[in-house]
Amino acid sequence: MPLALRKDTLNGDPESLHQPLLSSQRSIVNSTSQVAIVGSNVSPIESLDYEIIENEFFKQDWRSRGASQIFQYIFMKWLLCFLIGFIVSLIAFCNNLAVENLAGIKFVITSNMMLERRFLLAFAVFFASNLGLTIFSAVITALIAPAATGSGIPEVKAYLNGVDAPGIFTVRTLFVKIIGSITAVSSSLLIGKAGPMVHTGACVASLLGQGGSKRYGLTWKWLRFFKNDRDRRDLVMCGSAAGIAAAFRAPVGGVLFALEEMTSWWRSALLWRAFFTTAIVAIVLRAMIDVCLSGKCGLFGKGGLIMFDVYSASISYHLAEVPLVFILGVIGGILGSLYNFMLSKVLRVYNFINEKGTICKIVLACVISIFTSFLLFGLPWFASCQPCPLDAAEPCPTIGRSGNFKKFQCPPDHYNDLASLIFNTNDDAIRNLFSRDTNEEFQYSSMFIFFITCFFLSIFSYGVVAPAGLFVPVIVTGASYGRFVGMLVGKRTNLHHGLYAVLGAASFLGGSMRTTVSLCVIMLELTNNLLLLPLIMMVLLVSKTVADAFNANIYDLIMKAKGFPYLETHAEPYMRQLTVGDVVTGPLQMFNGIEKVRNIMFILKTTRHNGFPVIDEPPLSEAPVLSGLILRDHLVTLLKNKVFFPTPRAIGDDVFKKFTSDDFAKKGSNKGEKIEDIQLTEEEMEMFIDLHPFTNTSPYTVVETMSLGKALTLFREVGLRHLLVIPKITGRSPVVGILTRHDFMPEHILGVHPLLVSSRWKRLRFRFRCLGNLFSGF
């Protein structure tokens, strides 16, 4: 479900130029609300406080810290980065080990039955195992942790932007993400493990950052050191980088992916810690792989998500190959944008089905699993058998788990090239597509059928209620059409078909996900061949440029569909025409520096605001003046501890002895105290609280005449939750209003100023006309 925002209809002729562009509507009451779908459940969205609350209590707490405590603070940051890297790498290894053995046992049993010509029984085993694994994954996801549905990258990206979606970093979500991903990928659904690994890494980082989970008794006091969203955000970013690094054994690519795609805010110190985290991942995985190469991991080692040395041959290419690579990039951009468009439409349909209830979610997953099983087992029957090559680098036909020459239904000394791709795990399919010296292995029809199958199956498989990633399906799809292009070119190029598969995967990734630098490094680390750098750079740049002309990247489209109020890096053109005073809405709730308890209780119970301006008025000041901003959680803490006085007076310094920094520390996601839990007597309701020591006396403020685009840049770059708007002319109220994330959403702005809708469409039509004229000139 998209954002549930009010959209006023435009009255009159939309093309009329006689009406003013902006209408004075500053007093309109903001009756809109932000909602998001997390696992198809509508949940309220909260923003995160990345700003440091510099009140007197915070300053006193930091002044009281000695050198040892400051050292401990810095040391704990590095220690947690080490723990994140170590734990995520262990999870990734166990994940791969489980998938390779589960899927391997299924394919070995099925292949043995095929060798015995017991085709019907082989299909029954294949079908039942896929359906059973899918049902298990769907049930635990739908009933235990709906937030574990999908890849999790959009949720983590929104969190790093300042959006706190309920339940995305809980212990239950982590458990279901790991177990559900293992079973879903093993069920032959065309989904990947890379996205879920990013979410898993972020979950591990978040749980470590908040000291564990009180709900399940998994808490450690020595870990409860980071008491604000700012530090936890940094850890979650390191966790997401570790997830990509563990998924592809690409430590540098993981850091760059977190920088380019995930995080909205960056600094050099964070770069060092993220690099340290991914380095730990690479070292631990290298040690684990060495153990598996000795044959102690069952069927693991030949395929697997951790693919390295996939294409390590020396290559040579000339200037004549550049146009072909350019065309490959254009195709990748077009297909990537089409892929994003179709996936967003399918997700809308799935969301409509999922809203019907848990049973419908599970039934949908079962239908997709049944369709997939019939397709994967049935399509190879339409491919003709090929004689085994005499100079094959491995046994032909392949007997057992993985290999380039699947026998399937073929006679002795023959193999089924389509079965070698489609009746296999995604990781083994990628290895077969990327393999060198196999130019004659696949037929044109088989490669085309495999591309069409992957393209549509990955779209229909992603939206089921199970942990599912997009990275690996996109790589498989791109590699298939890349290899198909290489087969069409034939001997007119010096590039092998396997190299075209690598370039096709890169172009499709660029067209769908729209990152360039990080994907380039990931592909290089994945293939272990630096000679591919210029070609991969070209296809990524071309595919991204082409795809950007049509729609946004896939993760942005999913975030929009889920209703996450994500703040983009750029401001819309119409935001330069608006001032912050044009969009700020009311009514504004404020507190006096010394306020009556009854007033505080009433406002907290009747509003859901999380920040309130604090005003000093005579006799505390000569004129009304802004004292600062106080948070809702801090007010609830003061009410809970009953720091009341019978008369309105300033509080003494002894109040700091009644609190510790833990009392005002930010709890875990959605775990704060609630005003409904506070019970006060009638006598206490008539008392007063001095809010000055707990008020942030240096909040970010902007004058009401600042452009909305400039305010958006400040709001996003600093990571704010509240931005106070002050008047330009003195003598009025010291605060005009508060800007929150909601006020920067296009749905809200165009709802307050509906005339902007028509002017916006005019500009879009003008851009498309210019674009059409540009292409018509070629």
Residue by residue, DSSP assigns 571-631 as --GGGGT-BHHHH--BPPP-EESEEEHHHHHHHHHH---SEEEEEE-TTSSSS-EEEEEEE
- 106 and 174 both lie in a single domain: yes
Asked if residue 306 belongs to a domain, the reply is no
- 117/94 Cα distance (integer angstroms): 34
Domain final position from 294, 329, 358: 294
- 122 and 171 both lie in a single domain: yes
- 490 and 605 both lie in a single domain: no
Whether the per-residue pLDDT at 24 is higher than 50: the answer is no
pTM (two decimals):
0.86
Residue 610 is predicted with a pLDDT of: 87
Whether the per-residue pLDDT at 223 is higher than 70: the answer is no
- 714 and 631 both lie in a single domain: no
Residue 675 is predicted with a pLDDT of: 82
Asked if residue 462 belongs to a domain, the reply is yes
Asked if residue 51 belongs to a domain, the reply is no
- 102 and 234 both lie in a single domain: yes
Span 479-495, average pLDDT: 85
Residue 300 is predicted with a pLDDT of: 53
- CATH number at 665 reads 3.10.580
- 364 and 449 both lie in a single domain: yes
Span 151-160, average pLDDT: 92
Asked if residue 6 belongs to a domain, the reply is no
**Average pLDDT value for the chain:** 82
- CATH number at 494 reads 1.10.3080.10
Residue 778 pLDDT class (50, 70, 90 cuts)? very low
Q: For the segment 93-147, what is each residue's pLDDT rounded down to a tens digit?
A: 999 889 888 888 888 888 888 888 888 999 999 999 999 999 999 999 999 999 9
Whether the per-residue pLDDT at 303 is higher than 70: the answer is no
Asked if residue 314 belongs to a domain, the reply is no
Positive or negative, the Cα torsion across 240, 244, 249, 251? negative
Span 8-13, average pLDDT: 36
Asked if residue 37 belongs to a domain, the reply is no
Whether the per-residue pLDDT at 647 is higher than 60: the answer is yes
Span 540-557, average pLDDT: 92
Domain final position from 657, 676, 697: 697
Q: For the segment 652-682, what is each residue's pLDDT rounded down to a tens digit?
A: 766 767 776 666 766 655 556 778 888 888 8
Domain final position from 644, 663, 697: 697
Asked if residue 33 belongs to a domain, the reply is no
Please check whether residue 434 is in contact with residue 501, taking contact to mean a CB–CB distance below 8 angstroms: yes
Residue 230 is predicted with a pLDDT of: 85
Asked if residue 30 belongs to a domain, the reply is no
- 579 and 624 both lie in a single domain: no
- 650/620 Cα distance (integer angstroms): 10
Whether the per-residue pLDDT at 521 is higher than 80: the answer is yes
Residue that the structure tokens 């350019």 belong to: 326
- 536 and 657 both lie in a single domain: no
User: Regarding predicted confidence, which is higher, 44 or 334?
Assistant: 334
Give percent of the chain with pLDDT exceeding 90.
34
- 541 and 578 both lie in a single domain: no
Helix, strand, coil content of the chain in percent (nearest 5): 60, 10, 35
- 423 and 436 both lie in a single domain: yes
Nearest to 79 by CA among 282, 277, 319, 217: 277
- 216 and 283 both lie in a single domain: yes
Q: Could you give the 3-state DSSP secondary structure of residue 677?
A: helix
Span 623-638, average pLDDT: 88
Nearest to 155 by CA among 253, 37, 260, 247: 37
* Token reading at 194: 């890379």
Instruction: Compute CA 596 distance to the chain's CA centroid, rounded to the nearest angstrom.
Output: 44
CA distances from 26 to 89, 590, 741, 750, 775 (A): 52, 18, 17, 14, 43
- Across the strands, what pairs with 738? 724
Residue 217 is predicted with a pLDDT of: 57
Q: What secondary structure does DSSP assign to 56-108, as a single string?
A: HHHHHHHHT--HHHHHHHHHHHHHHHHHHHHHHHHHHHHHHHHHHHHHHHHHH
Q: For the segment 246-299, what is each residue's pLDDT rounded down to a tens digit?
A: 998 889 999 999 999 998 888 888 899 999 999 999 999 888 887 777 766 766
Q: Count Cβ atoms below 10 Å from residue 269 Cβ, excluding itself.
A: 11
Residue 524 is predicted with a pLDDT of: 87
Nearest to 406 by CA among 375, 428, 435, 439: 428
Mark out the alpha helices in 625-720 (DSSP H runs): 632-641, 682-685, 708-718
- 357 and 333 both lie in a single domain: yes
- 203/503 Cα distance (integer angstroms): 33
User: Regarding predicted confidence, which is higher, 41 or 588?
Assistant: 588
Residue 661 is predicted with a pLDDT of: 65
Which residues touch 676 (CB under 8 Å, ≥6 apart)?
605
Whether the per-residue pLDDT at 587 is higher than 80: the answer is no
- How many domains would you assign to the chain? 4
Domain carrying residue 449: 321-562
Residue 212 pLDDT class (50, 70, 90 cuts)? low
